[in-house]
A and B are shown apart, each in its own frame.
Chain A
Amino acid sequence: MSARVITITSGKGGVGKTTATANIGAALASLGQRVACIDADIGLRNLDVVMGLENRIVYDLVDAVEGRCRLKQAMIKDKHIPNLFLIPSAQTRDKTAVSPSDMIRLCNELRPDLDWIIIDSPAGIERGFKNAIAPADQIIVITNPEISAVRDADRIIGIVEAEEKGSPQLILNRLNPEMVKQNNMLSADDVVDLLAIHLLGIVPEDKAVLISTNQGTPIAMEDKNLAGKAYQNIARRLLGEEIPLLDLDKGIGFFNRISSVFGSGD
């Protein structure tokens, strides 16, 4: 077996790259896949806190690249899922500490022992982004239904296509079905129409995402809320299953009813 390398990128910051990386990693791992998530944002380490592993870091990506540790030593095992790993980024270095060929070499070394390598790209289109997409077999562009995020996503898609990385797939994050219904938010159809790439999944806006991030437990580890379910569906689609997009209107009604029955204390 050789792992498939997926890079999650967006252009614009703050649209949910790190959250998506942690959740797609967790969802794939909970389906029995062996997964490593790599934080490629050197100097702005983030994936460790989102995955709740910040206290376990000994070595990081740059240590592994520069040979201060074996690659295995930089892989931190997840607290909940034993076949999920994190390779954290370095906090005190900058993007020039790693080159695109370093990333390719590192991923090639990891491939034989894993099923998936998920790389969290930094925002922007500079060196850090180039590092992150260099080893990718497939690129996922994540955006919000917001004019600036969609514009930056389009730019990234153009660059990815120019680099002959194939057509990227799209995740639309933080969609608010209520606002779409009131015609005050771009719909999934609008965004797909504008960007003209394949839609891998829609993640609705969900307070539970922030709550789970606060707790350091990716939301995709459970499916009692819509966002967690959405990430699990994305993982299944990556595994080749044909899963229809969530019916967000129905979903909200259903989940509201559930939480009103059991109280919203969780």
Chain B
Amino acid sequence: MENFINKIFSREPSSADQAKDRLRLVLINDRTDLSAATLEDLKDDLLEVLSRYIKIDPKSMSIDITQEGRQQRLIADIPITGPISRKY
């Protein structure tokens, strides 16, 4: 009963869900050898290169690694805010 009440009133995810979420991040990290900090660096570099061609709002850009089977995928979502004026 106590368990039931806790479940209704608390917003904390179950310990199994916590374990799964933590593992998901750890495994991506282990498999790619990319830490969160390195991913940030990658994002900055990517932004710098892309900005030469398109106009981007850095705040709306997201970059993530997702898992598909045993393969990791780098997913970047980069809204283009406008054209860049070309001089040539």
Contacts and interface: CB of A to CB of B under 8 A. Distances in A.
Interface of A: 147, 150-151, 154-155, 157-158, 161, 180, 182-187, 190, 193-197
Interface stretch (B17-25, B37-45, B57-65): B17-25
A183 B69 contact: no
Interface of B: 3, 14-17, 19-20, 22-24, 26-27, 30-31, 67, 69-70
Nearest to A179: B16
Nearest to A146: B19
Nearest to B67: A196
Contacts of B31: 154, 158
A190 B24 CA distance: 10
Contact of A183 (B17, B23, B30): B17
A197 B14 contact: no
Contact of A182 (B3, B17, B24, B26): B3
A180 B70 CA distance: 24
B70 A183 contact: no
Nearest to B20: A190
A146 to B, nearest CB: 8
B70 A194 contact: no
The 9 closest A-B pairs by CB, nearest first: A183-B14, A196-B69, A196-B70, A183-B16, A184-B15, A147-B19, A190-B20, A154-B27, A186-B19
B15 A197 contact: no
Contacts of A147: 19, 22-23
B23 A150 contact: yes
14 contacts: A147-B22, A150-B23, A151-B26, A151-B30, A154-B30, A158-B31, A183-B14, A183-B15, A184-B16, A190-B16, A193-B20, A194-B23, A195-B70, A196-B67
Nearest to A189: B20
A26 to B, nearest CB: 32
Contacts of B20: 186, 190, 193-194
B10 to A, nearest CB: 12
A155 B15 CA distance: 23
A187 B24 CA distance: 14
A155 B30 contact: yes
| Best-surrounded residue of B16, B17, B31 (most CB of chain A within 10 A) | B16
A118 B23 CA distance: 30
Contacts of B15: 183-184
